[in-house]
């Protein structure tokens, strides 16, 4: 994506990498520790017996979550197509793909709200039901918050592009940074989907 950064951006930057981009990669790197802690917390409590209430692994709707995962995965495709369109100076294409990415992210969020509602209303599994439920809601809730922030950033970029008649090279870097954040949210979900949904089992 670095073709969007002009030589002027790199002037005086000794690493040869745009500072904002380097900052974003370092931030994403630190996010591994944040989500790692939440995933570890879930693994510690997901099948620890002796607590009352429903355990998340007993009530997962795997077909539904698989569709949600597919939607988020495809939003990474639309994100990269938005960037590709901008690098070809196709402003309309960039706006369209940005909107598609935000829409897919919103569908994923809607799915998460539906899942949480199902768990609370139909199964009475709440944040305070047991440590496994707490760990599940905190982990997936924080991931959902990240997705929501991503959707806001995507829509802001699209709005900026509409108002100004397109994204400049400098805003192209903004799109690149939002894209990096969005793909990161996707890879975290890849891990959550496997570890939390597909591999976890309720207490024996």
Residues that bind other proteins (CB under 8 A): 1-3, 15-17, 21-22, 25-26, 28-33, 35-37, 39-40, 43-44, 62-63, 66, 69-70, 73-74, 76-77, 79-81, 84, 87-88, 179-180, 183-184, 186-187, 190-191, 193-195, 198-199
Residue nearer to other proteins on the CB measure, 25 or 99: 25
Residue nearer to other proteins on the CB measure, 73 or 160: 73
Q: In whole angstroms, how close is the CB of 156 to other proteins at the nearest point?
A: 21
Q: Could you give the residue ranges of the DSSP H alpha helices within the chain?
A: 7-10, 19-45, 56-59, 62-87, 91-123, 131-164, 169-192
Q: Which residues contact 148 (CB under 8 A, 6 or more apart)?
A: 109
Give CA–CA dist 156/161, Å, rounded.
Answer: 9
Q: In whole angstroms, how close is the CB of 124 to other proteins at the nearest point?
A: 25
Residue nearer to other proteins on the CB measure, 59 or 73: 73
Q: In whole angstroms, how close is the CB of 41 to other proteins at the nearest point?
A: 9
Give CA–CA dist 179/201, Å, rounded.
Answer: 34
Residue nearer to other proteins on the CB measure, 17 or 120: 17
Q: In whole angstroms, how close is the CB of 56 to other proteins at the nearest point?
A: 15
Residue nearer to other proteins on the CB measure, 124 or 169: 169
Q: In whole angstroms, how close is the CB of 166 to other proteins at the nearest point?
A: 18
**Burial class for 82, CB neighbours closer than 10 Å (0-12, 13-18, 19+):** buried
Give CA–CA dist 171/174, Å, rounded.
Answer: 5
Give CA–CA dist 126/13, Å, rounded.
Answer: 50
> CA torsion sign, 45 to 47 to 53 to 58?
positive
């Amino acid at each position: 994506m670095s073709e969007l950064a002009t030589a002027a951006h790199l002037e005086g930057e000794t690493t040869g990498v745009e500072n904002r981009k380097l900052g974003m990669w370092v931030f994403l790197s630190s996010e591994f520790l944040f989500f790692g802690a939440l995933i570890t917390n879930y693994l510690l409590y997901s099948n620890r017996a002796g607590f009352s209430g429903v355990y998340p692994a007993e009530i997962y709707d795997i077909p539904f979550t698989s569709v949600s995962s597919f939607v988020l995965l495809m939003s990474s495709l639309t994100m990269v197509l938005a960037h590709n369109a901008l690098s070809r100076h196709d402003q309309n294409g960039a706006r369209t793909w940005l909107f598609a990415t935000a829409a897919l992210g919103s569908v994923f969020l809607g799915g998460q709200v539906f899942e949480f509602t199902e768990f609370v209303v139909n199964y009475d599994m709440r944040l305070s039901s047991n440590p496994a439920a707490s760990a599940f809601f905190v982990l997936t809730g924080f991931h959902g918050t990240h997705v929501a922030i991503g959707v806001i950033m995507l829509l802001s970029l699209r709005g900026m592009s509409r108002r100004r008649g397109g994204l400049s090279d400098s805003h192209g870097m903004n799109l690149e940074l939002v894209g990096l954040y969005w793909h990161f949210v996707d890879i975290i979900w890849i891990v959550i989907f496997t570890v939390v949904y597909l591999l976890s089992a309720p207490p024996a």
